[in-house]
Amino acid sequence: MTDVSHITLLTRMLAHVRAQAPGIRLEAARIDGNTERALESGEADL
């Protein structure tokens, strides 16, 4: 995600998620050369 999308999209999305699923934990990660390995190993998930 770009910096702009973090500011605009995540702010709105997190407000909605907090209202619908209090206590849930989300983490946004940069998509880079390690993304495939992180998904395959279970370190990251969608």
Token pair, residue 29, equals 């990660």
The pLDDT, as a whole number, for residue 42 is 95
Instruction: For residues 36 and 13, give the distance between their C-alpha atoms in angstroms, rounded to a whole number.
Output: 24
Helix%, strand%, coil% for the chain, nearest 5:
55, 0, 45
Would you say residue 7 has pLDDT above 70?
yes
pLDDT digits (tens, 9 = 90+) for 14-45: 899 999 998 888 887 888 999 999 999 999 99
Scan for tokens 């495939």, then name that residue: 36
